[in-house]
Chain A
Amino acid sequence: MGFKYLKDAVTLKLDTDKCIGCGMCEIVCPHSVFLIKNNIAVLTDRDKCMECGACSMNCPVSAITVRKGVGCAYAVLMGMFKEDGCGGGPSCGGSGCC
């Protein structure tokens, strides 16, 4: 049973020139987006990425970039209506979601 969200929406980028094949991305990704092939990371299915940011956070050579965020419509909507001064960007908390 495959859960897949929208096509071509995510910001995930992998710079294979920088990759040293340590395999951390493969370990931390909760959706198996990375695979180590011939000592280098490759993307299996980019659309499965949920932009949690675990890969870029744990890549020791900064070969991965992704705009990290929470895929929560409630938070995005609250962010749209409350252009607050708390640093912006959608976030959870309060008595809302997650």
Chain B
Amino acid sequence: MDILGAWKTRWGIGRMTYTINPGLYSVGCPDQYSPVLVTSNYKLTVDKVRKNLSGRNLWVLVLDTKGINVWCAAGKGTFGTEELIARIDQEGLKEKVVHRELILPQLGATGVSAHEIKKRSGFKVEYGPVRAENIPYFLDNGKRLNPSMREVSFPLFDRLVLTPVEIVIAMDLMLRVFGVMAILSALGILPVERADYLGLIGAVITGTFLSPLLLPWIPGRAFSFKGMLTGLIWAVSYILFLYSKGYTGSLQLFSYLLILPSLSAFFSMNFTGSSTYTSLSGVEKEIKTALPIILAALVAGILTRIISLF
């Protein structure tokens, strides 16, 4: 396993070029009767599939999904009906195997129409498990699965490995904000304090790390609401901390109560894209309600903070 490569990808380093070449690969020594598995050309995916097939003889047909994982690529259509049919022809799959059956990851179904594939290529599509680690079970049990193997869960570890990219994206934005703050401070326009930066960094961490991690235990359904709650906890703790350190400017402390929760709410809302259960209609509904509130609180908070400086 390419552990360093996987780690780098999770932090967004070279994430978009982590690919392998599309085509037909053999695992072990497959023959014309061996099963054919289909997957994407994201290297993390192929590594995971291969790891779970060790000791077996079969074919792996890797589609060109531009280095995107199966589910996201299927959503875009690159892991799709057209690509699969083209790849079957290009690799001469009909000459390589005598059977006419393909095993696809279940999450590929978003981009693939099984009856269309059957009609146009003659191959019958069998949808395997959601997760690669259940492929052996699927193959050994007459292509049957437990219902839980057909469901997408979102356990703590999955949420954890998705947070680094959230942090990187959020910090990319915040570093620009910090830059502007530093320039305004250096020019003597706004005497920004270290407490301001620390508060904001804390809000980024609550929104991009704490909220995703605690997701199922935070009350509410909307991600922004959950983020507002964690942000509120951070803001109150931070205000109490500053107060104990001798900060008494009530306007300044009050501005944090407005700014920090709205920032945390915004970054938590962005985690909808990493989650495995939010719908587009739901996200649109959430944004329509939450964004005006977030922006209003943010603007009010920033104005309060500016006033408190004079």
List the interface of chain A (C-beta within 8 A of B).
1-7, 9-11, 24, 27-32, 48-54, 57-58, 60, 67-77, 80, 90-93, 95-98
Contacts and interface: CB of A to CB of B under 8 A. Distances in A.
B157 interface: no
B151 A5 contact: no
Given A6-B221, A73-B287, A92-B76, A27 B150 contact: yes
A4 B276 CA distance: 10
8 contacts: A3-B153, A51-B279, A69-B279, A73-B223, A73-B273, A74-B169, A76-B287, A97-B273
Contacts of A58: 109, 112-115
B282 interface: yes
A20 B134 CA distance: 29
Interface string B272-285: 11111111111111
8 nearest interchain CB pairs?
Answer: A69-B280, A72-B273, A71-B278, A97-B273, A28-B109, A54-B109, A30-B152, A51-B279
**Size class of the contact patch on chain B:** 35 or more
Interface of B: 12, 15-16, 68-69, 71-72, 74-76, 106-107, 109-115, 127, 130, 147, 150-154, 169, 215-216, 221-223, 269-270, 272-287, 291
A50 B275 CA distance: 10
Contact of A76 (B68, B72, B274, B280): B280
Nearest to A96: B169
A51 B280 contact: yes
